[in-house]
Amino acid sequence: MSKVTIAIPADFILGAAASAWQTEGWSGKKPGQDSYLDLWYKQDRHVWHNGYGPAVATDFIHRYAEDVALMKQAGLTHYRTSINWSRFLLDYEQVIVDEEYASYIDNFLDEMLRQGIEPMICLEHYELPAYLLETYGGWQSKHVVELFVGYAEKVFARYAGKVKRWFSFNEPIVVQTRVYLDALRYPYEQNTDKWMQWNHHKILATARLVQLFEQQGYRRDGGSLGVILNPEVTYARSSAPHDQKAAHIYDLFYNRVFLDPLLLGVYPAELIELLRLHGVEWHYDEQELDIIRRYPVHEVGINLYYPHRVKAPSRQWNEHTPFHPAYYYEPFELPGRRMNTSRGWEINPRIVYDMAQRMNRDYPDMPWFIAENGMGIENEARFKNAEGEIQDDYRIDFIAEHLYWALKAREEGARCLGYMLWAFTDNVSPMNAFKNRYGLIEIDLQQQLRRQPKKSAAWFARLSAARTLAL
């Protein structure tokens, strides 16, 4: 017997997310259309999963009609994915569209609209063209900002009749943090100047897109231009001032660095001051700051998986190495925490409610939704029943518990527009290919990528039909 039931408002999004690169596969890709992730996968066979990876991915490019039918069956109201910048154009400088890829996008969007599922489209979900990285150093260059705007203009002109909700980036902080702050990926260079320059140019590019979108009348026609961020709910080890300071600075460098300029139009003064104090050099001018001030986003998607916990640092920073924000904090592992051991992430559904409180307090005018939340599990085939259906009760519980806090916050007045699961089908993760499975729908790699709904897919369909969550 359920103990709690909570109503799901009629306009509340119940959707799922994915991205182009993680699902489409390379079929039809022309020479020169690599994204920077394609290059990485081509160079390093270790990241593939038993030979499976982005080359075929889930073969969405050929199987979208089947997948859209399954979306309908699973009761999705919305589906979020991206257009792959590195494939949409044949020439990034002259902005020449690849007609073959662009018509596939047309057909796929038409199929969604036919089935009554609203598309939400991101213009960059880890799909920076490799050419732009190699030629200009990627987002280091202001020219790349202009090329991104040119690409977006073509995309809006072609699809604005089919798509209302657009997003500039998915998790724009991630790539440069892995590459230039933590030096975990090629070119393994710790360079905080570059980290901040990439941040700034992605923020500027988003503001330029909002400007373009409004000036060309898409906003007036009921469209919106948002961004998908991954702010982490950050808990300090204790209420002692040194631990609180660690959490405060972590929040400044990893959350407010994008939230404040994109939602409020200004960088936090304290962040700018700390960057100056530590000699971090990045280029911006008054005109750019003015564009950021005048064109905040219309809505924000928030990817939320786990809480981040920090404590005061115990070691001394070496003044001769480039500045890293970890000068101010150290990770802290809460003893006895509930874990998803496949992914090494803490499970704590309460983060949804705490994020809602934070949005109410710091960004009260901004509509937001959970753009990703989900559970990646290794080797899920071990949970198949006699009929071959994966019995993913752990995923049902995970979704229900997180959704509950979103609905409760909404009841109490939060501007939470909905919940999107990562992911609709299993797909390719940039970090570990097909190792961790997130989908409502299994992609069976042994059976020519056969789609097999998991137990959670039927549960989601019932939830969507009943518009009531029971747990």
Active site residues: 171, 372
Q: And the tokens for 436? A: 């961790």
Would residue 75 be called left, alpha or beta, if left means φ above 0 and alpha means ψ between -120 and 50 degrees?
left
Cβ 267 to ligand BGP shortest distance, Å: 24
Beta bridge partners of 390: 384
Query: In 3D, which of 298, 401, 295, 300 has the Cα closest to residue 359?
Result: 300
Q: Which residue has the tokens 């997003």?
A: 167
Beta bridge partners of 460: none
- Residue number of the CB atom closest to ligand BGP: 429
Would residue 322 be called left, alpha or beta, if left means φ above 0 and alpha means ψ between -120 and 50 degrees?
beta
Name which of 37 and 356 has its Cβ closer to ligand BGP: 37
Binding segment (CB under 6 A) for ligand BGP, from list 97-105, 115-123, 361-369, 428-436: 428-436
Should residue 439 be labelled a site residue for ligand BGP when binding is judged by CB under 6 A?
no
Cβ 133 to ligand BGP shortest distance, Å: 19
Should residue 7 be labelled a site residue for ligand BGP when binding is judged by CB under 6 A?
no
Cβ 378 to ligand BGP shortest distance, Å: 10
Should residue 168 be labelled a site residue for ligand BGP when binding is judged by CB under 6 A?
no
Should residue 346 be labelled a site residue for ligand BGP when binding is judged by CB under 6 A?
no
**Count of residues binding ligand BGP (CB under 6 A)?**
13
Cβ 429 to ligand BGP shortest distance, Å: 3
Name which of 173 and 209 has its Cβ closer to ligand BGP: 173
- Contact between 156 and 216 (Cβ < 8 Å): yes
- Contact map string, positions 217 to 236, toward ligand BGP, x by CB under 6 A: -------------x------
Should residue 170 be labelled a site residue for ligand BGP when binding is judged by CB under 6 A?
yes
- Contact between 41 and 48 (Cβ < 8 Å): yes
**457: helix, coil or strand?**
helix
Cβ 17 to ligand BGP shortest distance, Å: 8
Helix (H) or strand (E) holding 468: strand 468-470
Should residue 436 be labelled a site residue for ligand BGP when binding is judged by CB under 6 A?
yes
Residues 359 to 398 in contact with ligand BGP, rule: CB under 6 A: 372, 376
Name which of 348 and 410 has its Cβ closer to ligand BGP: 348
Name which of 243 and 442 has its Cβ closer to ligand BGP: 442
Q: How far is residue 203 from each of residues 43, 154, 293, 297, 351, measured CA to CA in Å? A: 30, 20, 11, 10, 25
Cβ 53 to ligand BGP shortest distance, Å: 12
Cα-to-chain-centroid distance, residue 345: 17
Cβ 56 to ligand BGP shortest distance, Å: 17
- Contact between 166 and 123 (Cβ < 8 Å): yes
Residue 182 phi/psi, 5-degree rounding, is: -100, -10
316 CB neighbour count, 10 Å cutoff: 7
In sequence order, the 6+-apart residues with CB closer than 8 A to the CB of 40 are: 47, 185, 186
Name which of 38 and 243 has its Cβ closer to ligand BGP: 38
173 CB neighbour count, 10 Å cutoff: 21
Q: And the tokens for 187? A: 């070119």
Name which of 129 and 374 has its Cβ closer to ligand BGP: 374
Name which of 303 and 452 has its Cβ closer to ligand BGP: 303
Per-position DSSP letters for 62-128, written without gaps between them? HHHHHHHHHHHHTT-SEEEEE--HHHHEEETTTTEE-HHHHHHHHHHHHHHHHTT-EEEEES-SS--
Q: Which segments within 240-314 are labelled E, that is strand? A: 300-303, 308-311
Which one among 69, 266, 431, 466 touches ligand BGP, defined by CB under 6 A? 431
Query: In 3D, which of 419, 443, 308, 423 has the Cα closest to residue 374?
Result: 423
Q: And the tokens for 276? A: 């100056």
Name which of 312 and 421 has its Cβ closer to ligand BGP: 421
- Contact map string, positions 76 to 115, toward ligand BGP, x by CB under 6 A: ----------------------------------------
Which one among 15, 19, 169, 347 touches ligand BGP, defined by CB under 6 A? 19
Binding segment (CB under 6 A) for ligand BGP, from list 83-91, 113-121, 241-249, 429-437: 429-437
Which one among 218, 422, 434, 460 touches ligand BGP, defined by CB under 6 A? 422
Residues that bind ligand BGP (CB under 6 A): 19, 22, 170-171, 230, 303, 343, 372, 376, 422, 429, 431, 436
